[in-house]
Amino acid sequence: MLRPPGRPANPPRTTFPYTGAARAVLARATILATVLATAMPLASAAQQSDHVPAAPQPKLPPSTELTQLAQSAPSPLAEDSQRGGIGKKSTDMSPVGHEPNDAPIVSMFPHPENQLWWISGQANIIFQGDLPFHSPYQGTNSFIPRGEYKASMVGTLYTALRPNHSIRYNTDVIFDLEAAEGRGLSEAFGLAGFTNLDVVRNPNLGKPPYIARYQIHQVFGFTNKTTSQQPGFFALAPSVPLRRLEFRAGKLTLPDFFDINGPGSDSHLQFMNWTVDNNGAWDYAADTRGYTVGGLAEYDDRAWSIRYGLFAMPVVANGIDLDWAFSRAHGQNAEFELRHSLVKERKGVTRVLFYANRAHMGTYREAVQDFLDGSDTAKFGVTVPAITLHEHFSALKYGLGYNTEQEITENLRVFGRFGWNEGQHESFAYTEVDQTVELGADYAGTRWHRPVDKVGLAFVSNAIKRDHQNYLKLGGLGFLLGDGNLNYGRENIVESYYAWHFWRGLFYSLDVQHIADPGYNRDRGPAWVGSVRAHVDF
């Protein structure tokens, strides 16, 4: 899962027509989608007619819930929306090895059950464009008001090894490779809730594959009673102790394990917007691609879980390099999860998240005051406030999040989030949001005989605090925002999508987003963004 990059000099921007790089990405995306759409059904006809077990998919970026659908009862929402262990959906699934005869297949190739190894992959291709919108002015980091279109592509190889068949004391070794190319609209500037979670803005990172994850995962069971879980690259065991302690250490991305939400956490098969798929006010530890290094522990019981982790922070705001001096820079995250439904015989879960980051951060108020009294202009010759001139080691930024999801019927789920942070210190690792409120729902296509298809609708409203507003109004630049002026208003986003299961692991989606007051600026917008997505799971 990719994030906006650090604070390099802004790359040159392009509008119509495509640049050579964008044209190359689109050409590759088009070729891949065409080949998959035409060749795979022919290959299927040549294969044996025996039913092939569906493959479980990791939560991020591929969708866990579709695989659980293929492995469980006929209900399209049969997957357990509560996670019973680090990074996993769990419990209340059909016995391992049992699969309904009519279960849809949601992976290109079979993945044997109860094996000591795991190999899978995915590719995600997004073509995105926006319409021209009203804009009396624009600045260095503005969302471009002229129409654009861009393409992005992300591919990931997932591997895992389980040294033995132990359930009570299970161990997993995980290693993933990833490659990404393409850019976002306006080079991913100008929106707090940006429209494509796959893009990386920094052109200096290049296209070669990189290591996305390497982890050691260890389970210590406190009982011989077990509950089934869907095997996948996060954890290969087909079941886990009902009460257990789990540890995980290495390179990872925090949304794999914190703030998970069944209808609202999968940018490859569901929503695409940054602040819909994640809590925008959660400034979680991550480098420019969304990954960090650290460890976490989790205790799981029948109806509740609690988890805590300590992770490295980037050296500069949203940069690629991590600060290895944990004594002065680190991110702490803690989350409590309660699995309790408000609707009889349906599933529901609530999560409460707390975080505290220490890093080399500046404060908006100090940057504004020193600019207004002329001291920064006299010392550094700046013509606008610059928060990078007021950074301090071990500065503290903290916040909280609330996350809930609830099944209403066998096809309908609703979800919501609330997030808040103290807003005095600069947005550092995710996006420029100090407060967020989100509501949404999805509906499975069982009634029109498309049980894996899904339609979704979400509304999110993002805000920033007064000091942050003043900084942008005076022409200050964040790592995402900066119109040169600001007539403040909340950034309100509505997103809807339809995901179509074409064949086996091949999916296509249409997505529309409406952004009112882009970059919190009432003088600009609204913006309309449309997307076409192709996704394949191997």
Tens digit of each residue's pLDDT (9 = 90 or more) over 433-468: 999 999 999 999 999 999 999 999 999 999 999 999
Q: Which amino acid is at 188?
A: A
Assess whether pLDDT exceeds 50 at residue 33: no
Per-residue confidence at 109, pLDDT binned at 50, 70, 90?
A: confident
Main-chain dihedrals φ then ψ at residue 287, nearest 5 degrees:
-85, -175
- Average pLDDT of span 94-101: 35
How large is the average pLDDT for residues 241-250? 97
Could you identify the residue written with the tokens 């996993």? Answer: 88
Per-residue confidence (pLDDT) for residue 69, from 0 to 100: 41
Ramachandran angles phi, psi of 357, nearest 5°: -110, 135
| pLDDT, tens only, 282-327 | 999 999 999 999 999 999 999 999 999 999 999 999 899 999 999 9
What is the per-residue pLDDT for 333? 98
Mean pLDDT score, 91-102: 36
Range among 24-38, 97-111, 399-413 rated most confident:
399-413
Q: Which two tokens stand for residue 438?
A: 């989100």
Residue 412, classified by CB atoms within 10 Å of its CB into exposed (0-12), middle (13-18) or buried (19+), is: middle
Residue 335: band (very low, low, confident or very high) from pLDDT cuts 50, 70, 90: very high
pTM listed for this prediction: 0.83
- pLDDT tens, 141-182? 999 999 999 999 999 999 999 999 999 999 999 999 999 988
pLDDT for the residue numbered 19: 43
pLDDT band at 201 (very low <50, low <70, confident <90, very high): low
Q: Distances from the Cα of 336 to the Cαs of 100, 105, 120, 301, 341, in angstroms?
A: 34, 34, 31, 12, 16
Q: What's the confidence (pLDDT) of residue 25?
A: 44
Mean pLDDT of the chain: 84
> Residue 80: is its pLDDT beyond 50?
no
Strand ranges (DSSP E) for 312-421? 313-314, 322-323, 330-338, 348-362, 391-407, 412-421
pLDDT above 70: percentage of residues in the chain: 80
Tens of pLDDT along 384-413?
999 999 999 999 999 999 999 999 999 999
DSSP-H helix ranges across 173-228: none
Question: What integer pLDDT is reported at residue 112 of this predicted model?
Answer: 79
Which domains, ranges and CATH numbers included, belong to the chain?
Answer: 20-537 (2.40.160.10)
Task: Name the H helices within 359-454.
Answer: 364-372, 375-380
At 102, the pLDDT band (50, 70, 90 cuts) reads low
Q: Is the pLDDT of residue 10 over 70?
A: no
Distance CA 63, CA 78 (A): 14
Q: Where are the beta strands (DSSP E) in 105-231?
A: 117-130, 148-161, 171-182, 210-221, 226-228
Q: What is the pLDDT of residue 276?
A: 97
